[in-house]
Amino acid sequence: MFRIGQSSDIHPLAEGRKLILGGVEIEHTKGLLGHSDADALTHAVAESILGALALGDLGSHFPDSDPRYKGACSLDLLSCVYEKMRAEGYRIGNVDALVMIERPKMAPHIEQMRGNLARCLHCGIDQISVKATRGEGLGFVGREEGVLAQSIVLLVKGEE
């Protein structure tokens, strides 16, 4: 049995914050604003898994009103989602994710992002795709006001 989930996550860029995507801290003049570390890529992946399982959205499991999640590492949240997925009897088939950010360039960081996500999801790096694109000066991404990440996941029932 297979299940497919999809999600998007948006966070504004702000001065004085760290830019963390896929668990990688990237040097930049701005970072993502949010209750946790605001890792939009990891949030989109986690929520796509929750969606595939029909378990609601990320905020219902890790509410921004809960002080336990203030500044939380999103890779830790993804590990919790992985445990929920395993409890339902599923494993990762594959993840296909996209980060939309004007700058900095993501290419130097993609392999580390893939590795971080694969470790949290206990799967091969070849099952994780992370791509990036720019806004080409258009919209909130192009104006460097925020970041949008999207993820699609295929879950497979049972052991490999």
Contact 30, 102 (CB under 8 A): no
Q: Is 13 annotated as a binding residue?
A: no
Q: Is 101 annotated as a binding residue?
A: yes
Q: Is 76 annotated as a binding residue?
A: no
Q: Is the peptide bond before 104 cis (omega within 30 degrees of 0)?
A: yes
Q: Is 109 annotated as a binding residue?
A: no
Q: Is 28 annotated as a binding residue?
A: no
Q: Is 8 annotated as a binding residue?
A: no
Which of these, 119, 130, 120, lies nearest to 97 by C-alpha position?
130
Q: Is 152 annotated as a binding residue?
A: no
Contact 108, 130 (CB under 8 A): no
Residue 96, CA distances (Å) to 14, 67, 155 in order:
27, 31, 12
Q: Is 104 annotated as a binding residue?
A: yes
Q: Is 2 annotated as a binding residue?
A: no
Q: Is 106 annotated as a binding residue?
A: yes
Q: Is 108 annotated as a binding residue?
A: no
Give the three-class secondary structure for 81: helix
Q: Is 48 annotated as a binding residue?
A: no
Q: Is 25 annotated as a binding residue?
A: no
The one-character DSSP state at 10 is E
Q: Is 63 annotated as a binding residue?
A: yes
Annotated binding-site residues for a divalent metal cation read 9, 11, 43
Annotated binding-site residues read 9-11, 35-36, 43, 57-59, 62-66, 101-107, 140, 143
